[in-house]
């Protein structure tokens, strides 16, 4: 949906974007057909309240998206078996991913559906997961009718595919929430008791009452915190077993020392207890973990939404008819019809028809490949020219695409964790604290007594429990992830930001990243008027070259007697003249129309070949009058984006499956030295180059295709750009929602700023630990001081994180 | 102040009951989605026939 030249005054009645001049009408004006359809559907059902609600809480404007798809495949029993559950009282239940769920008004609009659709008993939206749960009566309404309704009101539905993953996550989320609840309750009650105890210190309190409060604190703290802190203990033990250091280790030591020593002191009836500080620590840590988890979940559900956008249906040939079936229902041997513009769903052999296949996502090649009956086609490629009938030879995981996906999955799961800043620090921290505690114990034992020695050593372990240290990373990362998501940069894991912060080598795939990813006319030699003739001849064709020529000029002339020879060219009669458009060889030899090319034409063709552009000759009445140069054009902002990345200290290299000359030409335009432009690289070659470069430092792979996905998984960090293949999104650590690669430099800057914030946070918390630790060593620490300083250090870290420059909008 | 020996444990029992209620709420899925209800409260008319 491109918005053409717009006048500033008129805003779209649906989405508020400017309306292109051509679409302005007297009454309501719309920026695109999608908005108009959605607006009409809303009006038809009497749901105009949507616009009032939206004005209260306006989301970022975006044109409405709607399709005229019939959703017949949703009624297929094979698909329903997978996606629909039936309750005992005869109602059916399923979940959809809904596109464009952005604001309160969207929730209202979708949840009002039962009023307009008799038979639907409930529709509940979960906006964080872009998900809607539908309960309906299959006897009175079909699922496809519900889907059509949702589509018409601007929320295109897709079957929810990640149910198992979702259940797993839900279990984890609930377990964490229960622990937060227990820790919170423990914190509140221990605080109340602690206030009484602190008041007693100054006001005097009978020994009996003090003992009561101490015992009560212990009864709450030991079971409550012992349970709530289990995640830390589990990670610490896991890290110890793997002989790695993890920040949860000093945390666990501190918590256990505090609980153990406190309980011992309560039983002994003398000495200090630190239950209130410990409760605060456990609660804060759990809450920060929950926030980080929530942000990560959001980014991954957004990525999953994109995954479910790939077609999950196919047209099966049954006699003369085509039947829409779910992809799961296809077995080898079945014949399928693949229409123009559709993704081929299986590996197979072409039975009838000839066409061109865009294998760009699979191989990275920018030019379509011609196929005819008997040729093999692969799943994941796009049919671009004419309908094909394909007999399936392999489906699902047995396809070439499936095998590639399996490789990538295993690579991703073996991705070695980077040594995180805090964990490196944790190692030294444990060493320093345990040595200091030992020295304190020995020194005080020699100087005074063993019990005083133990008291001060334990106090040291408790007050230096690295609460702020543990909060330093999650807080900084949470702030950064939230801001990044609002700018259309989805970061999947917390450590992806740390991975992007150190400069190294950045490999960038050419097609679809620095270039637009589709053919366009970039140069024109000869008669300018011939362009309109060529466009007229190509009017009926859907070949990529035809589309490029049609986009170059528009014409009102029509062509007759059009004859298309696939992969060679097209000829027809326009205004009584015979016009032929096609490859030079075809125009020259195969056509009886042509005489030998004039020297100038020959010169144009060789110049275009030198530049790496595809020459297309236009001949009128047998004379070649013009030559068009076609290539995949650079994005306008690509040069600036690459310069910005280089400016940040990264070495940028092009890595493409396309012809080496084309890659060098693109590199020249981007200011990348020819020796850093790698062409003709297979997916395996990309993987090898990335792996080799990783020996020398951090490697980032930017790409959009299946052919880049393995390299992305092997790189230190993978970045997928807008419109990337599903497997590429899955393999990447960062997904850019905007089509421009300018966001890469922004992401790197944001990652760097995040690491700066993390380091600052770590400094603050270390300063606190040094101060509190020295007081404990000197034996002058008091539980009241600990209780005051511990939250203070955490608040400092929180303030520092919010102040962070990461992903902050300059405007 | 002997009443403390009764009141403090009683307070803790009530707190424990609250924790149990919270755990029940989490397990029954009431806190699975914390974003949408915050928006749903803005609708001033019933958006669903049944609840």
Question: Beta-carbon neighbour count of residue A701 at 10 Å?
Answer: 32
* Residue in A closest to B1 by C-alpha: A209
pLDDT tens digits, one per residue of A653-666: 998 877 788 888 88
Are the Cβ atoms of B39 and A182 closer than 8 angstroms?
A: no
Would the pLDDT of A443 be above 70? yes
- Of all residues in chain A, the percent with pLDDT exceeding 70 is 90
Structure tokens at A422: 């805090």
Whether the pLDDT of residue A185 is over 90: the answer is yes
**B35: closest CA of chain A, how far (Å):** 6
- The mean pLDDT value for A431-458 works out to 88
Nearest-Cα residue of chain B relative to residue A50: B43
Cβ contact (<8 Å) for B23 and A178? yes
- Residues of chain B contacting residue A188, judged by C-beta atoms under 8 Å apart: 15
Say whether A127 and B36 touch across the interface (CB within 8 A): yes
The alpha-carbon gap from B20 to the nearest alpha carbon of chain A, in Å, equals 9
CA atoms of A42 and A810, how far apart (whole Å): 37
Task: Tell me the pLDDT tens digit for each residue of A621-668.
Answer: 878 888 888 888 888 888 899 999 999 999 999 988 777 888 888 888
State the smallest CA–CA distance between residue A22 and chain B in angstroms.
37
| Residues of chain B contacting A209 with CB distance shorter than 8 Å | 1, 4
d(CA A277, CA A785): 10
pLDDT of residue A36: 84
What share of chain A has pLDDT > 90, as a percent? 12
To probe the interface with A, which of B7, B43, B46 has the most A CB atoms within 10 Å?
Answer: B43
How many beta-carbon contacts under 8 Å exist across A and B? 87
Question: Between A749 and B35, whose confidence is greater?
Answer: A749
Report the residue from B26, B36, B43 with minimal CB separation from A181: B26
A104 touches chain B (CB under 8 A): yes
| Band of pLDDT at residue A160, cut at 50, 70 and 90 | confident
A439 has pLDDT over 90: yes
Instruction: Please provide the DSSP assignment of A329-376 as one string.
Output: G--TT-EEEE-TTPBP-SEEEEEE--EEEE-HHHH---S-EEE-TT-E
CB contact under 8 A, A181 and B19: yes
Model pLDDT for residues A100-153, shown as the tens digit of each residue: 887 888 888 888 888 888 889 888 888 877 888 899 998 889 998 999 999 888
A53, B42: Cβ pair inside 8 Å?
yes
Q: Span A190-195, mean pLDDT?
A: 91
Q: Tell me the residues of chain A between 27 and 56 that have a Cβ less than 8 Å away from chain B.
A: 53, 56
What angle, 0 to 180 degrees and rounded to 10, lies between the N-to-C axes of helices A742-778 and A421-447? 0
Q: How many helices (H) and strands (E) does chain A have?
A: 28, 29
- Name every chain A residue with its beta carbon within 8 A of the beta carbon of B11: 189, 192
Which residues of chain B approach chain A closer than 8 Å at the C-beta?
1, 4-5, 8-9, 11-12, 15-16, 18-19, 22-23, 26-27, 29, 31-36, 39-40, 42-43, 47-50
Please list every residue in chain B whose beta carbon sits closer than 8 Å to the beta carbon of residue A115.
Answer: 49
Say how many residues make up chain A.
811
The answer to whether A573 and A560 have CB atoms below 8 angstroms apart is yes
Q: Is the pLDDT of residue A535 over 60?
A: yes
Tens of pLDDT, residue by residue over B3-26, are 888 999 999 999 999 999 999 999
Enumerate the H helices of A706-741 as residue ranges.
706-714, 726-731
Q: Please state, in angstroms and rounded to a whole number, the distance separating the CA atoms of residues A176 and A590.
A: 72
A108 contact B CB<8A? yes
Give me the pLDDT at residue A766, please.
87
Q: What is the pLDDT, as a whole number, of residue A429?
A: 84
User: What is the average pLDDT score of chain A?
Assistant: 82
Strand order in the sheet with A734-736: A489-491, A734-736, A717-720, A699-703, A505-509, A651-655, A677-678
Q: How sure is the predictor about A524, in pLDDT bands with cuts at 50, 70 and 90?
A: confident
Instruction: Inspect the interface and report whether the beta carbons of A178 and B26 lie closer than 8 Å.
Output: yes
In chain B, what residues touch A220 (CB-CB under 8 Å)?
A: 12, 15
- pLDDT, average across residues A575-588: 82
Cβ distance of A126 and B33 shorter than 8 Å: yes
Between A43 and A187, the more confident residue is: A187
Strand residues in A399-494 grouped as ranges (E): 489-491
Mean pLDDT of A286-313: 70
C-beta atoms surrounding A472 within 10 Å: 31
Q: How close does chain B come to A290, measured CA to CA in Å? A: 12
CB contact under 8 A, B48 and A181: no
Contact predicate A493/A716, CB 8 Å: no
Residue B14 is predicted with a pLDDT of: 94
Nearest beta carbon to residue B18 from set A111, A174, A185: A185
Cβ-contact A627, A724 below 8 angstroms: no
For tokens 């280790």, the residue is: A249
Is the model's pLDDT at A614 over the cut of 50? yes
Question: What gap in Å lies between CA A640 and CA A339, rounded to an integer?
Answer: 39
**Which A residues 175-194 touch B at CB under 8 Å?**
177-178, 181-182, 185, 188-189, 192-193
- pLDDT at position A414 over 80: no
Quickly tell me which residue has 């133990």 as its tokens: A454
* Partner-chain residue, chosen from A108, A115, A173, that has the shortest CB–CB distance to B43: A108
Decide if pLDDT at A595 tops 70: no
Asked if A219's CB is within 8 angstroms of B22's CB, the reply is no
Question: Does residue A503 have a pLDDT over 80?
Answer: yes
Kindly indicate the confidence band of residue A2, based on its pLDDT and cuts at 50, 70 and 90: very low
Interface touch A173/B15, C-beta < 8 Å = no
Averaged pLDDT, A264-285: 88
What mean pLDDT do residues A291-317 have?
Answer: 68
Answer yes or no: is pLDDT of A184 > 90. Answer: yes
| pLDDT of B50 higher than 60 | no
| Å between A181 CA and nearest CA of chain B | 7
Which residue among B19, B35, B48 sits closest to A111, beta carbon to beta carbon? B48
pLDDT of residue A267: 93
Contact A97, A156 (CB under 8 A): no
Q: Verify whether the Cβ–Cβ distance A182 to B19 is below 8 Å.
A: yes
The mean pLDDT of A454-464, rounded to a whole number, is 84
Question: Which of A122, A127, A189 comes nearest B39 by C-beta?
Answer: A127
Chain B contact set for A219 (CB, 8 A): 12
Contact A382, A341 (CB under 8 A): yes
Is A122 near chain B, with CB under 8 Å?
yes
Q: What is the DSSP letter of A543?
A: S
Nearest to A212 among B5, B18, B34 (CB): B5
pTM for the whole structure? 0.71
Residue A365 is predicted with a pLDDT of 64
Closest A-chain CA to B38: A104
Best of A57, A121, A178, A227 to disrupt the B interface (most B CBs within 10 Å) is A178
> Is B22 within 8 Å of A181 when comparing Cβ atoms?
yes
Dihedral of CA atoms B22, B27, B32, B37 in degrees, nearest 10, equals -50
Confidence category of residue A369, pLDDT binned at 50, 70, 90: confident
Rounded Cα distance between A462 and A444, Å, is 17
pLDDT of residue A401 exceeding 60, the answer is: yes
Q: Does the pLDDT value for residue A811 go beyond 50?
A: no
Minimum CA–CA partner of B26 in chain A:
A174
- Which among A588, A555, A558 has a CA at the least distance from the CA of A576? A558
Q: Exposure pattern of A20-54 as b/e (b: 16+ CB <10 Å)? A: beebeeeeebbbbebbbbbbebbeebebebbeebb
């Amino acid at each position: 949906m491109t918005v053409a030249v717009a006048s500033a005054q008129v805003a779209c009645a649906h989405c508020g974007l400017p309306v292109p001049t051509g679409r302005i009408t007297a009454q309501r004006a719309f920026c695109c057909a999608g908005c108009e359809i959605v607006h009409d559907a809303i009006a038809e059902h009497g749901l105009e309240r949507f616009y009032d609600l939206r004005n209260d809480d306006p989301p970022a404007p975006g044109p409405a998206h709607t399709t005229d798809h019939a959703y017949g495949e949703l009624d297929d029993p094979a698909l329903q078996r997978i996606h629909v559950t039936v309750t005992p009282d005869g109602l059916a239940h399923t979940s959809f991913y809904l596109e464009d769920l952005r604001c309160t008004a969207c929730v209202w609009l979708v949840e009002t559906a039962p009023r307009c659709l008799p038979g639907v008993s409930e529709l509940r939206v979960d906006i964080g997961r872009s998900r809607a749960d539908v309960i309906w009566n299959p006897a009175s309404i079909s699922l496809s009718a519900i889907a059509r309704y949702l589509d018409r009101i601007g929320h295109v539905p897709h079957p929810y595919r990640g149910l198992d993953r979702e259940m797993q996550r839900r279990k984890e989320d609930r377990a964490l929430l229960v622990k937060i609840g227990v820790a919170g309750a423990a914190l509140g009650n221990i605080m109340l008791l602690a206030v009484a105890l602190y008041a007693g210190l100054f006001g005097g309190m009978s020994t009996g009452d003090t003992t009561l409060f101490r015992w009560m604190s212990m009864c709450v703290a030991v079971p409550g915190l012992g349970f709530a802190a289990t995640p830390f203990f589990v990670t610490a033990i896991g890290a110890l077993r793997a002989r790695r250091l993890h920040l949860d280790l000093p945390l666990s030591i501190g918590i256990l020392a505090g609980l153990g020593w406190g309980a011992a002191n309560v039983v002994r009836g003398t000495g200090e207890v630190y239950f209130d500080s410990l409760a605060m620590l456990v609660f804060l840590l759990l809450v920060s973990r929950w926030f980080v988890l929530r942000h990560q979940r959001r980014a991954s559900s957004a990525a999953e939404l994109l995954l479910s956008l790939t077609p999950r249906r196919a047209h099966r040939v049954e006699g003369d008819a085509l039947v829409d079936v779910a992809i799961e229902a296809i077995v080898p041997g079945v014949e399928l019809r693949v229409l123009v513009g559709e993704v081929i769903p299986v590996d197979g052999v072409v039975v009838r028809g000839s066409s061109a296949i865009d294998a760009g996502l699979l191989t990275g090649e920018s030019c379509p490949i011609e196929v005819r009956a008997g040729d093999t086609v692969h799943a994941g490629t796009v049919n671009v020219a004419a309908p094909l009938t394909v007999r399936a030879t392999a489906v699902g995981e047995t396809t070439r695409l499936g095998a590639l996906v399996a490789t990538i999955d295993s690579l991703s799961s073996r991705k070695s964790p980077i040594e995180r800043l805090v964990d490196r620090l944790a190692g030294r921290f444990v060493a320093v604290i345990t040595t200091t505690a030992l020295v304190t114990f020995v020194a005080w034992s020699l100087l005074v007594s063993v019990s005083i020695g133990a008291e001060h050593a334990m106090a040291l372990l408790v007050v230096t429990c690295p609460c702020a240290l543990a909060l330093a990373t999650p807080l900084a990362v949470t702030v950064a992830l939230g801001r990044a998501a609002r700018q259309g940069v989805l970061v999947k894991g917390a450590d992806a930001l740390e991975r992007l912060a150190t400069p190294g080598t950045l490999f960038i795939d050419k097609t679809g990243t620095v270039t637009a990813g589709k053919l366009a006319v970039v140069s024109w030699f000869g008669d300018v008027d011939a362009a309109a003739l060529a466009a007229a001849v190509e009017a009926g064709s859907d070949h990529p070259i035809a589309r490029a020529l049609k986009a170059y000029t528009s014409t009102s002339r029509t062509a007759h007697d059009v004859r298309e020879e696939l992969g060679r060219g097209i000829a027809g009669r326009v205004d009584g003249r015979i016009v032929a458009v096609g490859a030079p060889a075809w125009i020259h030899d195969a056509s009886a129309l042509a005489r030998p090319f004039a020297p100038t034409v020959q010169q144009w063709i060789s110049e275009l070949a030198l530049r790496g552009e595809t020459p297309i000759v236009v001949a009128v009445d047998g004379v070649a009058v013009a030559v068009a140069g076609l290539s995949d054009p650079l994005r306008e902002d690509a040069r600036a984006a690459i310069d910005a990345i280089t400016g940040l200290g990264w070495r940028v290299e092009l890595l493409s499956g396309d012809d080496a000359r084309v890659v060098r030409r693109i590199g020249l335009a981007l200011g990348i030295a020819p020796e850093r432009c790698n062409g003709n690289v297979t997916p395996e070659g990309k993987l090898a180059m990335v792996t080799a470069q990783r020996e020398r430092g951090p490697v980032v792979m930017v790409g959009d295709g299946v052919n880049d996905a393995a390299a992305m998984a092997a790189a230190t960090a993978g970045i997928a750009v807008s419109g990337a293949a599903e497997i590429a999104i899955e393999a990447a650590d960062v997904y850019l929602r905007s089509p421009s690669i300018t966001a890469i430099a922004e992401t790197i800057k944001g990652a760097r700023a995040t690491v700066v914030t993390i380091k600052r946070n770590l400094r603050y918390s270390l300063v606190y630990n040094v101060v509190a630790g020295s007081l404990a060593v000197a034996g002058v620490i008091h539980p009241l001081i600990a209780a005051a300083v511990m939250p203070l250090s955490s608040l400092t870290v929180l303030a520092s994180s919010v102040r962070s420059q990461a992903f902050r909008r300059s405007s | 102040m002997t009443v403390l020996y009764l009141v403090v444990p009683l307070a803790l029992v009530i707190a424990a009951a609250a924790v149990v209620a919270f755990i029940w709420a989490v397990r029954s899925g009431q806190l699975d989605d914390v974003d949408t209800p915050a928006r749903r409260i803005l609708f001033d008319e019933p958006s669903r026939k049944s609840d």
